[in-house]
Structure 1
């Protein structure tokens, strides 16, 4: 079976292939999250200082509720005549009263986080996959661990690289800082709490959710990919095949790792709650699990199952199908250019 090597495309082509999926996913899923937050805020109004999660199905973003038209979170508190009756009604009212573009409010901070995280993630996965000697498809029973380890290692590095950027972005939103004040604020925070604790807040619960998800996702995707390749070894996977494999593997991984996602959500939201109440924040992931279990029962650890799968499955499908499409496109283009140079020589 031919080796699917990372060296077949340049670093720039690898970046383009990676970030295209992140952009497409954000463009397609962001309107649904805007509507979700509007529907939630009309039932339980968000007050100043309280944190909420903005998620486009690909990345989670912690935002702080502030007052005034100049802050980053103003869009979700705009007054719209009437009452939202559901998703479709909310989309129609927002489009009618605020303009169609309002459905993509909050897209810039999503892209700022999603694009670099995706580039780091896919690049690292390709590197580790080739480092482990993995070929295009699970060619033998001894290959099953390679996509698991490659996915887990890539996600760990991606979370490690992006966490400081997430902290800086959250600080800008929560304290309405100008960009010139960010460095001073970060230095002060690090001096008070230490570099590791300050720059990597929520690092452990993020790893507990994302690393198992990544390991399960790539194991499932590569396994289904090997089945497709065995049926027709002479051709690459089509975009439709990549889309379906990505959706199925992403949906299964989302279900299995949902308890970790619930804990991460509680940990992030508690930042704003403790800031408002002046109480002490629970920082232990294990204590959060125990508290949630005894307070609300085991079913609480699987709260939001349907919304998570509905978001994550298509996001994974779009990401991997666009990534595979552009990667194969650049490989074919580079191969054609090499052949032309050989013939002209």
Structure 2
């Protein structure tokens, strides 16, 4: 990956992440409140839907940049490896490349995303605290578990959600772009076509991984650490299996529309810079 590609991925990712968070933050707030223990109205309802925006905006550019720099770099380096390992099908080799590269990108992005998500979601479900006040409470370590564990609460669950999500979204996104380009006789799709592919791929991935998103939300909002399987059993016994699809509508809508903007902006900025 040369310097020009690195800078293009860095800037395109930053623009994509920031624009998406600003445009669809209220839908994300509604989704979080639907998934939180106690229900939608107990956690704020329709009031203060921009609460927690500060932490999201601060983290969106660096986390998206980390994702795309890692994703684009790993595509370059891993494609020859998978081509040698999977000789029976070029499409399978490409799919494996995109799954591996997007997973690496998500792990890198979560270094920034997880603390921001903890702060954001706690602020979204609190009736008075700002993002800054939530951060100060976490740094005070009131539960005695340590600042790192408080800020990175839900790290493993987030990774557990993001890897299946991205393994569905990005191979599907790249496949749809490739097929669209082949159908129209182009070498690559236009940015608006990439946005449409991102919308469809994001919606499919979002709906499929909603149960993992519910678990991630509950863990991030809990006062103390709790094993994910123990939490899943507790939710099932006390609230039923249907709660695992709480917020599936807003989540699918948000990520479908957000995927169109996120990947559309990325494609546009990337095409301008290269």
Q: What is the TM-score of this pair, normalised by structure 1?
A: 0.63
Matched residue, 1:226: 178
Residue ranges of structure 1 left out of the alignment (5+ in a row): 1-5, 47-51, 55-74, 77-102, 272-280, 332-345
More helix by share: 2
Matched residue, 1:30: 25
Residues 192-341 of structure 1 mapped to structure 2, 5 A cutoff: 193=145, 197-271=149-223, 281=224, 283-331=226-274
Deviation at 1:199, TM superposition (A): 4.4
Distance change (3 Å), C-alpha of 1:38 and 1:316: closer
Q: 2:239, 2:33 → 1: CA distance?
A: 26
Is the counterpart of residue 44 in structure 1 residue 41 in structure 2? yes
Deviation at 1:318, TM superposition (A): 0.8
Q: 1:261, 1:268 → 2: CA distance?
A: 11
Moved more, 292-301 or 193-202: 193-202
Cα deviations by residue, 1:106-157 (Å, 9 ceiling, x for unpaired): 54332112111111111111111111127xxx95333221111111111112
Deviation at 1:297, TM superposition (A): 2.2
Confirm or deny: 8 A CA contact 2:198 2:256 kept in the other structure.
Answer: yes
Q: 2:105 is matched with which residue: 154, 160, 167?
A: 154
Q: CA RMSD in A?
A: 3.8
Residues 54-65 of structure 1 mapped to structure 2, 5 A cutoff: none
Confirm or deny: 8 A CA contact 2:207 2:252 kept in the other structure.
Answer: yes
Cα deviations by residue, 1:234-279 (Å, 9 ceiling, x for unpaired): 43211221111101110110111111001112222333xxxxxxxx
Q: 2:99, 2:244 → 1: CA distance?
A: 24
Residue ranges of structure 2 left out of the alignment (5+ in a row): 81-88, 124-128
Higher relative CO (Cα under 8 Å, sequence separation at least 6) belongs to: 2
Is the counterpart of residue 12 in structure 1 residue 7 in structure 2? yes
